[in-house]
């Protein structure tokens, strides 16, 4: 059921994610127009109350905000190139995944066509969209975020990261680095513990406490990085490097993969060789900041 006070919104791209976005807008009462290259994908949404636009141009005209969610940035450009739709005067919110360069280039392209542009990233899977657990990251002009904030909040918990259009994509990939690092570290430990008959579920309880405990160090370590000064308040890097050697030896002795521990140690060894062995772990930011 649409709500007379809720702003109209258009969704272009009705794959798994685009359909979830359109459903969340409909549930929040927004008059919702949809368009997809293969029009059959709109059928269920139309039954739920969406309006199917006959063309990209008609889809843009239907709402002050158009949300794009297609495979990649190339598809975004292809769909507009194929349609010759008039972009002037509309606002695009591109929730398609990509990198920061693509986001900034697409912002310039949209501006050249007279459109306003916000870029974004969805840190959630489709079933979570429309709940507070769906994190939606946005970047682009603050005024455009302010204008459309209430509409976008139908999708989840929305954070505006700043005016630089590339920020949402950067946070997106930084979050992926966090996710895979935690998962790989957990799998390393699980492989080791399983050699002693400890099952994954048992170790997962301990691993979770470790991950949460280490996460608590981040604000203090971040202060050191932002100050550019790394006094060894709790441990020196060379102490950590000795523990890394122990992790490598244990992995090899148990016959499990030692690639990840060796990567940790190689980076620490380079920082120690550069004279940072007496400093604290976040001094490794210098290794991470090189190409
Ligand atoms: N699914 C997730 O869990 C998830 C989570 C976070 C972010 N995302 C991001 O959301 C975006 C969409 O993902 P998805 O899961 O919805 O993918 P999907 O199910 O594969 O849907 C892809 C959509 O892109 C459209 N498309 C592809 N190329 C096109 C082109 N050249 N012109 C016009 N339309 C084109 C497809 O149209 P047709 O139907 O005509 O093929 C379809 O609507 C991706 O960037 C993805 O990384 C997805």
Instruction: Report the nearest-CA residue for atom 25 of ligand 1.
Output: 70
The predicted pLDDT at position 4 comes to 64
Judge whether 97 lies within some domain: yes
Interval between CA 192 and ligand 1 midpoint (Å): 39
* Together in a domain, 153 and 183: no
The predicted pLDDT at position 84 comes to 84
Instruction: Report the nearest-CA residue for atom 42 of ligand 1.
Output: 15
Tell me the C-alpha distance between 106 and 102, whole Å: 6
Interval between CA 249 and ligand 1 midpoint (Å): 45
**135-139/116-123 β-pairing:** antiparallel
Final residue in a domain of this structure, among 163, 192, 223: 163
The predicted pLDDT at position 290 comes to 94
* Together in a domain, 31 and 154: yes
Residue 125 CB less than 6 A away from ligand 1: yes
Mean pLDDT of the chain: 97
Residue 70 CB less than 6 A away from ligand 1: yes
Residue 56 CB less than 6 A away from ligand 1: no
Judge whether 116 lies within some domain: yes
Residue 129 CB less than 6 A away from ligand 1: no
Interval between CA 134 and ligand 1 midpoint (Å): 18
Residue 100 CB less than 6 A away from ligand 1: no
pLDDT > 80? residue 225: yes
Q: Is the dihedral of CA 196, 198, 204, 210 positive or negative?
A: negative
pLDDT tens column, 113-155: 999 999 999 999 999 999 999 999 999 999 999 999 999 999 9
CATH of the domain at 263: 1.10.1040.10
Ligand 1 atom closest to the Cα of residue 14 is 43
* Together in a domain, 115 and 191: no
Q: How many CA atoms lie within 13 A of 9 on its CB side?
A: 30
Q: For the chain, what percent of residues have pLDDT higher than 70?
A: 99
Tell me the C-alpha distance between 69 and 248, whole Å: 43
Interval between CA 151 and ligand 1 midpoint (Å): 21
* Together in a domain, 116 and 27: yes
Judge whether 39 lies within some domain: yes
pLDDT tens column, 46-104: 999 999 999 999 999 999 999 999 999 999 999 999 998 999 999 999 999 999 999 99
* Together in a domain, 175 and 151: no
The predicted pLDDT at position 2 comes to 61
Q: Please give the DSSP secondary-structure letter assigned to residue 15.
A: S
Tell me the C-alpha distance between 202 and 133, whole Å: 27
Judge whether 2 lies within some domain: no
Segments forming the whole domain that contains residue 184: 170-288
């Amino acid at each position: 059921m649409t709500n007379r006070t809720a702003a109209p919104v258009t969704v272009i791209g009705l794959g798994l994610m685009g359909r979830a976005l359109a459903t969340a807008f409909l549930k929040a009462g927004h008059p919702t127009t949809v368009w997809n290259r293969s029009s059959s994908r709109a059928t269920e949404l139309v039954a739920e109350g969406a309006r199917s636009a006959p063309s990209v141009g008609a889809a843009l005209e239907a709402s002050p905000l158009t949300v794009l969610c297609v495979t990649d940035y190339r598809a975004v450009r292809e769909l507009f190139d194929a349609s010759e739709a008039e972009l002037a005067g509309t606002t695009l919110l591109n929730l398609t995944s990509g990198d920061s360069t693509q986001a900034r280039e697409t912002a310039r392209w949209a501006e050249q066509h007279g459109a306003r542009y916000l870029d974004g990233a969805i840190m959630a899977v489709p079933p979570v969209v429309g709940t507070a657990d769906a994190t939606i990251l946005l970047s682009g002009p603050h005024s455009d975020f302010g204008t459309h904030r209430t509409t976008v909040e139908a999708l989840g918990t929305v954070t505006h990261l700043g005016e630089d259009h590339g920020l949402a994509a950067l946070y997106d990939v930084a979050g992926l680095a966090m996710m895979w690092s935690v998962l790989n570290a957990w799998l390393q430990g699980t492989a080791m513990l399983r050699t002693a008959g400890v099952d994954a579920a048992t170790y997962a309880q301990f691993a979770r406490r470790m991950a949460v405990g280490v996460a608590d160090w981040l604000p203090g370590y971040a202060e050191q990085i932002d100050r550019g000064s790394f006094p060894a308040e709790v441990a020196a890097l060379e102490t950590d490097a000795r523990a890394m050697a122990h992790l490598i030896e244990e992995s090899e002795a148990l016959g499990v993969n030692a690639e990840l521990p060796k990567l940790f140690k190689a980076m620490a060894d380079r920082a120690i060789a550069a004279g940072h062995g007496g400093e604290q772990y976040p001094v490794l930011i210098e290794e991470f900041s090189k190409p």
